[in-house]
Amino acid sequence: MTIEIRKISIGDLETLIEVARESWKWTYAGIYNEEYIEDWIREKYSKEKLLKEIVSSQSDLDILFLGAFSDSILTGFMELKLGASEAELLRLYLKPEYTHRKIGKALLFEAEKIMKKKGILECRL
């Protein structure tokens, strides 16, 4: 399996929402009920909200939306906020069937490379 890490584009919007939904349902199934999870996804991952964030990340070098693609299919994504001296990992989600395949590691490695280029030595999770 070959993984390509690249910036999320507007064309990835629908799949990004699905990755978040599947990840939330899998991760929090025993913690939150399905109604709460769906409400959370509708609020935090609405098309309008994410569209603004993706467009902003394409022109703002301080926010990065990176996707992990396997055979051109979005399998996971992360959002990283870059400051002058530190970064903050805002989101990191994978489709459940793609966990334990080193995809999260590949996303984090890419974030680390970007941070090193900018001279950032710390990252808050």
Give pairs for 113-118: CB < 8 Å, separation 24+.
Answer: 114/64, 114/80, 114/82, 115/82, 115/87, 118/82
User: What count of other Cβ atoms lies within 10 Å of the Cβ of residue 80?
Assistant: 24
Extract the tokens encoding 53: 């964030």
Tell me the whole-structure pTM to 2 decimals: 0.89
Is residue 67 within 8 A of residue 7, CB to CB? The reply is yes
Mean of pLDDT over the chain: 92
Summarize pLDDT for 75-110 with one digit per residue, the tens: 999 999 998 899 999 999 999 999 999 999 999 999
Q: Which residues pair with 5 in a beta bridge?
A: 68
- Confidence bin at 18 (pLDDT 50/70/90): very high
Q: Which percentage of the chain shows pLDDT scores above 90?
A: 78
Flag whether pLDDT at 13 surpasses 80: yes
> Which domains, ranges and CATH numbers included, belong to the chain?
3-124 (3.40.630.30)
